[in-house]
Chain A
Amino acid sequence: MLDRRLLIVTGKGGVGRSAVTAALARARARRGERVLALALGAGPGLAAHLGAAELTAVPRTAAEGVRGSEVVPDAALDEYVRRRIGANPLRLASRVFRVLAHAVPGIRDIVLLGKVVFEATEGVWDAVVVDAPPAGQIDSTLRAPSVIESLVPSGTVHDEAARLRTVLQDEDQTEIVTVATPDELALSEAGGVAATADDLGLTRSRVLIANRVLEDPGFSSPPPEDFESGAAARLHLGLRSEQQPLLSAARAAVHLPLLFGLSSPAEIAAALADLVPVR
């Protein structure tokens, strides 16, 4: 578990995807592996959790020896054209391709996913941990290979789509990590990701991580006197009693606690790296 070469981390917006991505990357790097943490259309969260000022298309060293980088759409499109067409009318080809990719969302998805798979299969990294789009949007990324394969009967884009589908389906190479906080919506979106993955026959290597779980506070009822400690106790017990039935139904493989009082993203990711079950 959590030991494949390509880890795709998704989950509903706001559940801590970037924190978990950075934690997994750090934990893999602590095993001495060469790790790339890669932001794929995921917003600016990953950089902060890696303790970096920003991420760019070129990998740079971040906390704990992890390299961090971002899939930048225009750069990825140009790189794709360069790899497929070679140097000749490169500027024109790039321009045409950018416009096509803009008009055909599936093509853009293929190219961005292609960059991720390229990094994961090139042999440079032992682990590529991807901060992927949130659960609501990852559908289009995961479906893109099949959609393009059926739309385009032959040609380079078709072949590329088929290759990406094979990698996404390979349970020895690829793992889908879904993060959810213990609430109804986040868990139901995690279920949606699993349903999409089933539908597409994607890798059976999947991990559900429950994040921000409230731990047992060491008491089961509020204190007799009704001061602030009573209000805090009722809040903790109330929230925990909402979480518990959802957690036992979801059967997440990993539970990560809510880390009280930690505010810096880099600190949070470092603390979570101690807790994720990466050998």
Chain B
Amino acid sequence: MTKVIFVTGAGGVGKTTIAGAVASGAAVVGTSTLVVTVDPARRLAQALGLSVLTNEPSPVPGLPALEAAMLDATASWEALVRRHTDGDTAERLVANRFFRAIADRFPAGQAYAAAEETAHLAESGQYEFIVVDTPPVGGAADFFEAPSRIRSLVAGRALRVLTGPAIPGRRVLYSLTARPVLRLADRLLGGPLLEDIGEFLIDLRTTYDGIRARTGDVEALFGAAHTVVATTADPGPMAQARRLLSHGPGTAKTVLVNRTVPAEWASLGDAGGDPYARNLARWGGEARRQQQVLASLADTAFSPWAIPLVTPAPTSIPELASLVPAPALDQILS
């Protein structure tokens, strides 16, 4: 059975690189692995020796067990609608000017489409490991909430409020303009939009059964996956990490703290010495600051693994593969 590993965390902590590192670490021992990113980071493509990443998994040169793909998040919302309703309704939905306005502006839809695509790849059984670089949504936890958000969108709560408790057939909405609720909505919005929204919501409702069943699969996938919580030793990312550790799905979690400075520097250097000693004192201050921030994880059950700040950034598979400490990699892949 395919094991799925989600790499999650605040923006800017190096999720994409860490996803590449975990996948490379799994694949160097010959285990069939796919790394999926939604982030058009050229660095990852470069480090993997690929000129571009596409929707189709492509083999990574020099590492036969590893394939890489980049999900196109903008096309995926449309694909989602097409997958879950009949052709005519899908055409109407996609052509609706309201849909076109929100299609590329609904991050939960894109996040959910990425999750559903991951479930699809996991079910194919082609890979032993699938490592997913999760898309940045509002907060890091949002990715895992995307299925329930999508469900509530298509469940038509808005539709029920507009038309009353019964889900009507098409076109019924227009005969209901006498309803006080609609008169109110009309004053708030302006008329023609309301018809568009009504039509949109009625059509969208047809995707509900498909999406409800599928969101269940996706949530089961989340629960069974291993979550790698990536962070840096900074207050914002650490707060996100704590939230993901207490509220994120599943129980198998590993914390990786990226860009750490050697702890032993904390007591070194001389702020009044020569330029080299002063430089070491400054970086020693950075080491102390990082340790203070890391201490805030002490009350959780998770002990973080440090990934050192390296320069230049990893540019090859062996460099990527050695980025994550071996015992941490064992914990993630076991």
Interface residue range, chain A: 35 or more
Residue-wise, chain A 1-38 has the 8 Å CB interface mask toward B (1 for contact) of: 00000000000111100100000000000000000000
| Cβ contacts under 8 Å, B286 to chain A | 260-261
Q: Does A100 contact B (CB under 8 A)?
A: yes
A89–B180 touching, CB < 8 Å: yes
User: Interface of chain A, helix or strand or loop or mixed?
Assistant: helix
A228–B201 touching, CB < 8 Å: no
B311–A238 touching, CB < 8 Å: yes
Residue-wise, chain A 215-258 has the 8 Å CB interface mask toward B (1 for contact) of: 00111000100001111111110110010000000000000000
**Complex Cα distance A93/B181, Å?**
8
Total interface residues on B, CB under 8 Å, equals: 68
Q: Does B192 contact A (CB under 8 A)?
A: yes
B289's nearest neighbour on chain A, judged by CB, is A263
B269–A93 touching, CB < 8 Å: no
Q: Does A58 contact B (CB under 8 A)?
A: no
Report the stretch among B20-28, B47-55, B95-103, B317-325 that lies at the interface: B95-103
| Cβ contacts under 8 Å, B42 to chain A | 184
Task: Pick the residue among B10, B191, B193, B309 that contacts A14 (CB under 8 A).
Answer: B10
Q: Does B151 contact A (CB under 8 A)?
A: no
Minimum C-beta distance from A81 to chain B (A):
7
Minimum C-beta distance from B190 to chain A (A):
3
Minimum C-beta distance from A62 to chain B (A):
17
Minimum C-beta distance from A191 to chain B (A):
13
Task: Pick the residue among B12, B107, B265 that contacts A13 (CB under 8 A).
Answer: B12
Report the stretch among B85-93, B120-128, B206-214, B271-279 that lies at the interface: B271-279
Task: Pick the residue among B188, B264, B313 that contacts A228 (CB under 8 A).
Answer: B264
B283–A157 touching, CB < 8 Å: no
**Complex Cα distance A135/B43, Å?**
19
Minimum C-beta distance from A35 to chain B (A):
23
B292–A263 touching, CB < 8 Å: yes
| Cβ contacts under 8 Å, B107 to chain A | 137
| Cβ contacts under 8 Å, A158 to chain B | 190
A92–B275 touching, CB < 8 Å: no
| Cβ contacts under 8 Å, A261 to chain B | 282, 285-286, 288-289
| Cβ contacts under 8 Å, A107 to chain B | 189
Q: Does B105 contact A (CB under 8 A)?
A: yes
Q: Does A169 contact B (CB under 8 A)?
A: no
| Cβ contacts under 8 Å, A18 to chain B | 236
B311–A233 touching, CB < 8 Å: no
Minimum C-beta distance from B68 to chain A (A):
18
| Cβ contacts under 8 Å, A14 to chain B | 10-13, 232, 234, 236-237
Task: Pick the residue among A45, A93, A104 that contacts B102 (CB under 8 A).
Answer: A104
A100–B10 touching, CB < 8 Å: no
Report the stretch among A112-120, A121-129, A147-155 that lies at the interface: A147-155
A219-B12 contact given A14-B234, A103-B201, CB 8 Å threshold: no
Report the stretch among B153-161, B164-172, B247-255, B297-305 that lies at the interface: B153-161
CB<8 Å pairs between A and B, sample of 25: A13-B136, A14-B10, A18-B236, A41-B138, A43-B139, A85-B187, A96-B161, A103-B201, A104-B98, A139-B105, A151-B97, A152-B193, A153-B192, A155-B189, A156-B189, A184-B42, A185-B12, A218-B278, A228-B265, A230-B276, A232-B269, A235-B261, A236-B279, A261-B288, A261-B289
* Beyond A152-B192, A236-B283, A242-B312, 16 additional pairs, beta carbon < 8 A: A85-B184, A89-B184, A96-B184, A97-B185, A102-B157, A104-B197, A105-B102, A105-B105, A151-B98, A155-B186, A185-B12, A229-B269, A232-B276, A233-B279, A260-B282, A263-B289
Instruction: Give residues in A with beta carbon < 8 Å to B.
Output: 12-15, 18, 41, 43-45, 48, 81, 84-85, 89, 92-93, 95-97, 99-100, 102-107, 134, 136-137, 139-140, 143, 147, 151-158, 181, 184-186, 217-219, 223, 228-236, 238-239, 242, 260-263, 265
Instruction: Give residues in B with beta carbon < 8 Å to A.
Output: 10-13, 41-43, 97-98, 101-102, 105-107, 136, 138-139, 153, 157-158, 161-162, 180-181, 184-193, 196-197, 201, 232, 234-237, 239, 261-262, 264-265, 268-269, 275-280, 282-286, 288-289, 292-293, 309, 311-313
